[in-house]
Structure formats: C-alpha cells, structure tokens
Structure 1
Amino acid sequence: MSATPAETDITRIEVGTGELRRSIAMRIFRAEPASSQPALVWLGGYRSDMTGTKAIEVEGHARAVGTDCIRFDYSGHGSSGGDYRDGTISRWIEESLAVVDHAAAPRMILIGSSMGAWIALRLIEKLRARGEADRVAGLVLIAPAPDFTAELIEPNLTDIEKASLAERGFFEEPSEYSPEPNIFTRALIEDGRDNRVMKGPVETGCPVHILQGMRDPDVPYTHALKLMEHMPADDVVMTLIRDGDHRLSREEDIAKLKQAIDGMLTKA
C-alpha cells in the first residue's frame, strides 16, 4: 500500500450551540495547483476515525491524482470532542454537513464506510433540500450499513438487551475491533428510525459504486443487495468480494477502492 507522505494538520470547527456545542476535528488536504476534480470526502463508520487504513489511503490517492481530500471525526470519535454514547445519526449528519460546508468543496465524491454510507445518503438528502444535490459527483460505499439500527440491530435484540434499553437506556455488546464494548443507546436507535433511507426509493442523482465483502460478519452482503434494489434510478455498480470481511482493508481491497474512486473521477 502507498503511504501518505506527511500527515495533514488537524483543524477544528465548532458545531451546535450551548450544551450541544462540540469541537469537530478535520484534516483537509488541498491539492497544489488547485484541482478542478471533485474532492474526496471520507465518512467513517461507527467508532472508527480518520486515521484508519482506508481513510489514510483515500487521502494518499487524492494526493496521487491531484485533488482535495476531506477527512474528519464525528463527535465522540477520534480527535473530536464529546462522548460517542451521546451520538446519534442526526447529530453526525449535522457535523458532516458543517464540515463539507466549511471545506467549501463545490463538488465531492462521498466515500462512506459502513455507517458512513448511511451518513452519505442522508447528507445527499440534506443537500438536495437546499438545492445543492449537484455538489455530489459520485458515491463509493464500502460495506454500506444504512438503517443498521432498524434493519440489523432491532430485529436481533435479545430479551436481556431489550430490558437493558428500557431500564438503563443502552445495551453493550463485545467489539471485534476494540477491547471496549460497543454501546448502543436508546437515543441512537430511536433517532435511527427517523433517519431511515430504505423506506422507499433511494435517489442519489449520481453514480454509485458499492464494495461489499461476502464474509462480512457485521453487515451481511444481502443488506448491500437490498440497498441496491432501493436504487432503481441510479447508475449503480456493485463489487462483491468473495473472501472480503467488514473492514476491507487488505491491499487487494484498497486497490479495488482506488479503482472505484478513479471510476467516479472519470465520470465527474
């Protein structure tokens, strides 16, 4: 894999007001000379951050092709302020919109990993509502998990987990990626219902490339197929990786990610 020559500096913006105010950390790479290509915007997954393998590789690729790259951490993640247990999809969408507005990218390719794919789809809806849907030139979705709270968590809750949600407002489950357990709150799950995207046709108005591992233990590939079925009007390509897991961070997976990005840049 390639390596980013030097880590981009962290800058910050404040999002929200009063008790909801939080500091959001960003790493914004600006190509020199200035690029006319869409900026690459990294939208990470639940409890991941902008220093992960795929995020760094995306910026490295932006450098290689001569375009801008925007990475950031949701509140409660990585270098941003706050506790992730206070996070909701609505809150993280608000932060994502604030970051792309701050970065002033006229056109973007959104690259959403796992939960980040859900954020990307909702971000497009927010931009469309403002009359700015044409800012998104393409979507690359990696192991996409839109509506995961309603589609993947709620139907599989045990009686113990239901009781914990009712009595404590959250439940815990072991994480394969951290020694600390995942904590899913009642607020996250209830807010997730309000942010569902697969309740009808999903129209992005741009080309979409989905990368999905068939050995993903967290988001089954059938979920990606379901998402694709909800996108009848879009130009959608799906790459199923037979031996791919949820992270898709191996060298061969990263190569496919870069190919998908290049395909979007060609269409832009």
Structure 2
Amino acid sequence: MSAPSPSYLETPQGRRLAYHATEGQGPMVVFLGGLKSDMDGSKALHLEAWAQQTGRAFLRFDYSGHGQSSGVFAEGCIGEWSEDAAEMLAARTEGPLVLVGSSMGGWISLRMARALPERVVGLVTVAAAPDFTEDEWWEGMSEAEKAQMDRDGFIARPSDYEDSDYIITRKFIEDGRQNLVLRDPLPLPMVTRFLHGTGDETVPTRLALRLLDHAQGPDMRLTLVDGADHRFSDDRCLALIAATVEDVLAQAAAA
C-alpha cells in the first residue's frame, strides 16, 4: 500500500511546504524534525500512528530544502526554517498546541514556544540542539576551517548519518547567530519536557543540562535515557516520546 501524498502550503516567502495533517481532538500535536531529516522519519510516523489511535489532531511537515518541500538544503538556514514553522502553525493549526521538536527541531520549537506563549500549552524536545551552529559547529572549527569558510563561503563536514558530507555555509553560521536562544531570557510558561540520551555523541548531554538551567518555567523536567543515542528512535525511546506527550497533554488540561 503506497503512502498517502502530502498536502502543500505555499508560503508568503515563495516556499512550497509539504505536510500531513491528522484530524482529531485538540490541542494539536505538531512535530518539528531535525537537520536534514524529514516528516517520514520514525519519530514523526510513530507519533502520527499514536495520534490516529487516540483521536488526537497531529501535524508533521518538511522544512524548505527537506523531504518533499521545495528548495535546496544547502541554501537554507535556521531563520528560514523557523519562518517555515511559523507559517505552518499560522496557516494549518488553530487553538492550543503541543510542540514536539527533535534535534534542530528542538531549537526551532523553543523559538516557536517563546513567540507563541498564548497558544503553546506544551513543549517536548528530543535531543534538542539549540544554538548548535555557534556552540558546536563554529566553536568546534579549526582556524584553518574558519579561514576556508571566510574564503570560500562554506566548508564540508563528514556526516554520521549519510554518505554525503554536510555543507556548512557562512550564511548558515551567520544566520544562526541571529536566532540564538541561550543568550537571552527563555521563558517557557507551558508544560515543558526535555528528553535526551546519555549516549548522544552529536548533541552532548551537557547541552541538555544547560538548556534546563537557562530556561525559565513553572513546570520543566529533563529526562535522561541511559545509553540512548542522538536518533532516540529505538522502541523504548519512541514509547517514551509518546508517553511524554500524553503526560504533557494531561498536565496542560489540568492547568
């Protein structure tokens, strides 16, 4: 049986974003994927199946340059993908929301939660990577790599997850500096849960602790899963994500 074709949103910025929406009870759960990931990943599909089984409204989508959306990945940046998320939330959701952000999607979901505190009643991040362009990539570059970035406008880095290299552009780094969330106050008045694996070699556990320490909110918790890697996609991790979303929904309803 072939997978259903996505719907598309044409944004004011001229991007064509692919998405799948599941009708159901609110608050709607929205999944925001990671860097070079797409809406057909295991976490997104697991949450969609959970939503369909429980009658919950759910949305998954591809940023520009990702999956089935328009655009070229190497030309994108955090600011543009945040715009994509904001346009999708404005056009294809209504009422209260629970955001689930994975890796880079954790960074973007934090930006959306800060921008829409009146709508976002719950936030779940999975191996969140806020400010990674600056704190992990730029700070981790050698002087030779920084010189190459200045000269050529990009460098290539090996990827842990695919055969081709990551192309890291100067635009990506400079734009990231305009969208950092760990330098200024980060109020999270909604029910907030951070999930992270101790075996994550892509986004170190210290970043999860830094995020917990930096953010400000009345109901924030960090759960560390022993040995879980950055994918956070084995059966126990997928079950934990769904259970955490259920907990956030229950706590938000009680509040």
Asked if the contact 1:89–1:188 (Cα under 8 Å) also holds between the matched residues in 2, the reply is: yes
2:52 pairs with one of 50, 54, 63: 63
2:163 pairs with one of 164, 179, 195: 179
* 1:92 maps to amino acid: W
The yes-or-no answer on 1:155 pairing with 2:144 is no
* 2:150 maps to amino acid: A
The yes-or-no answer on 1:25 pairing with 2:18 is yes
Q: TM-score if structure 1 supplies the norm length?
A: 0.90
The yes-or-no answer on 1:114 pairing with 2:103 is yes
Asked if the contact 2:102–2:125 (Cα under 8 Å) also holds between the matched residues in 1, the reply is: yes
Asked if the contact 2:101–2:126 (Cα under 8 Å) also holds between the matched residues in 1, the reply is: yes
| Pairing of 1:182-261 with structure 2 (within 5 A) | 182-261=166-245
> What percentage of aligned pairs have identical amino acids?
36
User: Partner of 2:45: helix, strand, or coil?
Assistant: helix
User: Partner of 1:183: helix, strand, or coil?
Assistant: strand
Asked if the contact 1:112–1:141 (Cα under 8 Å) also holds between the matched residues in 2, the reply is: yes
User: Partner of 2:56: helix, strand, or coil?
Assistant: coil
The yes-or-no answer on 1:46 pairing with 2:35 is yes
Please provide the CA RMSD for this pair.
1.5
* 2:232 maps to amino acid: L
| Structure 1 residue runs without a partner (length 5+) | 128-132
Asked if the contact 2:64–2:81 (Cα under 8 Å) also holds between the matched residues in 1, the reply is: yes
The yes-or-no answer on 1:142 pairing with 2:126 is yes
| Pairing of 1:124-135 with structure 2 (within 5 A) | 124-127=113-116, 133-135=117-119
User: Partner of 1:180: helix, strand, or coil?
Assistant: coil
| Number of residue-to-residue matches in the alignment | 252
Distance in 1, Cα, partners of 2:208 & 2:18: 30
Q: Displacement, 1:153?
A: 1.0
Q: Displacement, 1:144?
A: 0.6
Match of 1:81 in 2: 70
| 1:56-99 per-position Cα deviation (integer Å, ceiling 9, x unaligned) | 00111111221111110001000001001111111111110111
Distance in 2, Cα, partners of 1:172 & 1:164: 10
Identify which range, 244-253 or 224-233, moves more after superposition.
224-233
Asked if the contact 2:197–2:229 (Cα under 8 Å) also holds between the matched residues in 1, the reply is: yes
Q: Displacement, 1:216?
A: 0.5
Asked if the contact 2:28–2:93 (Cα under 8 Å) also holds between the matched residues in 1, the reply is: no
Asked if the contact 1:170–1:185 (Cα under 8 Å) also holds between the matched residues in 2, the reply is: yes
Distance in 1, Cα, partners of 2:148 & 2:166: 14
| Structure 2 residue runs without a partner (length 5+) | none
The yes-or-no answer on 1:14 pairing with 2:10 is yes
Change (3 A) 1:213 1:111: same
Distance in 1, Cα, partners of 2:218 & 2:134: 24
Asked if the contact 2:28–2:59 (Cα under 8 Å) also holds between the matched residues in 1, the reply is: yes
Distance in 2, Cα, partners of 1:196 & 1:10: 31
Match of 1:102 in 2: 91
Match of 1:170 in 2: 154
The yes-or-no answer on 1:93 pairing with 2:82 is yes
Runs of 4+ that moved beyond 3 A? 5-9
Asked if the contact 1:8–1:29 (Cα under 8 Å) also holds between the matched residues in 2, the reply is: no
User: Partner of 2:17: helix, strand, or coil?
Assistant: strand
Q: TM-score if structure 2 supplies the norm length?
A: 0.95
Q: Displacement, 1:234?
A: 3.5
User: Partner of 1:137: helix, strand, or coil?
Assistant: strand
